[in-house]
Amino acid sequence: MPRKNNITIYEKIYQSAVEEFGMWEQIIADCGREFFLCEFVQEYLKDFRIKRDGSICRRPSFKQLTSCKNNRVERLWQEVNAQVGLPIKWAFTEMENNHTLDRHNLTHLFATSFVGCSVAKVLLQRWMDGWNNHTITGKGIPSQYTHHRGNYLLPAGVLPSAAHAAEIYRGSNGQLTDESTFGQDPLEGQPEKQNRRDQIFQNEIDTKLGGFNYIASYTVNHGYQPIQEAVTLYIQLGVSLLSS
């Protein structure tokens, strides 16, 4: 997800979190538009926040704060950016400076998106696992704390899918942008060639570069050659199969 998208954020963050942990009494976000769908659904389902005594929670379902007032989350974002986003950015910037990557070439952008997101997924999961299992003074361990937090478990079928949530939101005169690819796949509309490219690429990544886990470890420690080789390989495979 190279761009901030309401539907993707809802599906990958809010929906998955509520499915695993239950619905929070209140969610807090900054004033960015990318959280509108999450906030909408949180408000839409607010009457499912039923307390143990049977009463419905009347606390506002969400709160918007400016970034400077949401310091706890902003500090976490800085850590995530340092451990995930910036190393990948520096690797691609180095490629651009060496003239092996052209940000105006849509095929190059598509390759950086695919490889970058694959590496980011590994790094982000590592960061999350570390954070969720470390001890916070006076709070305990986040992964244990969450299970005792008393979130509201929703009945089956109540939490809308991303597609259904978007439909409800648009039906309430809300506007959303559908997720789209970053750059352009040179093999778009040719599923057999796309599958062939991805199979060859994954095999090469696993056998020659140690897989995305290995690439991620090098990238976060400022070893950019593996991720750069992966991008170049993905570009070359797409161009080669296009002309075959």
pLDDT by residue (tens digit) across 48-73? 999 989 999 999 999 998 766 666 77
Contact assessment for residue 115 and residue 232, using Cβ atoms and an 8 Å cutoff = no
| Mean pLDDT for all residues in the chain | 92
Contact assessment for residue 231 and residue 115, using Cβ atoms and an 8 Å cutoff = yes
Neighbours of 114 (CB within 10 A): 20
Q: Which residues contact residue 142 at a Cβ distance below 8 angstroms, ignoring those fewer than 6 apart?
A: 131, 132, 133, 134, 136
Greater confidence, 4 or 17?
17
Q: Which residues contact residue 161 at a Cβ distance below 8 angstroms, ignoring those fewer than 6 apart?
A: 11, 15
What's the predicted TM-score (pTM) here? 0.84
pLDDT given for residue 78 in this prediction: 87
Greater confidence, 208 or 139?
208
